[in-house]
Each structure stands twice: as structure tokens, then as C-alpha cells.
Amino acid sequence: MQERIMTAQAAYATLAGSVGELEAQVRRFETWEAEKQRYQLEELPPGILMYRLKAGMENGEPPHKICANCYNKGIKSLLHNRGQANGLTHWRCHSCGFDEKTGTFITPQRGNRGGGGWMAS
């Protein structure tokens, strides 16, 4: 009889732990579902998708974009603007490795220097 009680107690402890884990997962899911509502999917040329923070949903955060790959996995990962050049903006996600440029490439113009440079004699 005592062995059955011990077995039942062990089973109860296992089930109680499982219930606690499931409750934590539900809380994380509910939190993420609420967080997702703050973002809107946008497409930037040449067809790169990312999520941007909706106007009025800042809650003290600066405007930013998050990675669409990570968003779809339930992760909020900021896209880092690595710089702009020739009409392109370079974006990087440190969580999944997303690394792309958006915008339209603009060929740099060569300036007419009028022959007054260092090579003029």
C-alpha cells in the first residue's frame, strides 16, 4: 500500500510540474500575441519583408523594425540599421543572421572637378 502511495505522489509531482510548464507556455503565448499587435508587416524594395512598430504603439520605445523571420518564430528581434549608401539601407538581425539591403541602388555621380585637383600641373 505504501508503495502505491509513493508511486501516486511521484505521478502527482510529475503532473503538477507539467501543468506549471504548460501554464508558463500559455502566459508566454498570450504575452507574444499582445506584443504582435503592436507591429505591422511592411515590404521594402526590392521585396524585403519586415515588421515596423505601429504609430501610437511606442510605449516609450523609439520607432524600430523587427525581423520577420524571428517574428514568425515568436521572437522579437530588432533589425539593426548598419548604414546607408547609394540609396540602400543595410539591415541585420543578430538573432537569425538576416542580412539584407533595402532601397533602390543609385549610381554615384562622378563630380566634375574642373582640373584643379592635385594632378593638375
Q: Where are the domains of the chain?
A: 1-37, 38-105
Tens digit of pLDDT per residue, the chain (121 long)? 888 888 878 877 887 778 788 877 778 878 888 999 999 999 999 999 999 999 999 989 999 999 999 999 999 999 999 999 999 999 999 999 999 999 999 998 886 655 555 555 5
The set of residues, in sequence order, having a beta carbon less than 8 Å from that of 70 and lying 6+ positions away, is 76, 77, 93, 95, 96, 98
To the question of pTM greater than 0.85 for the whole model, the response is no
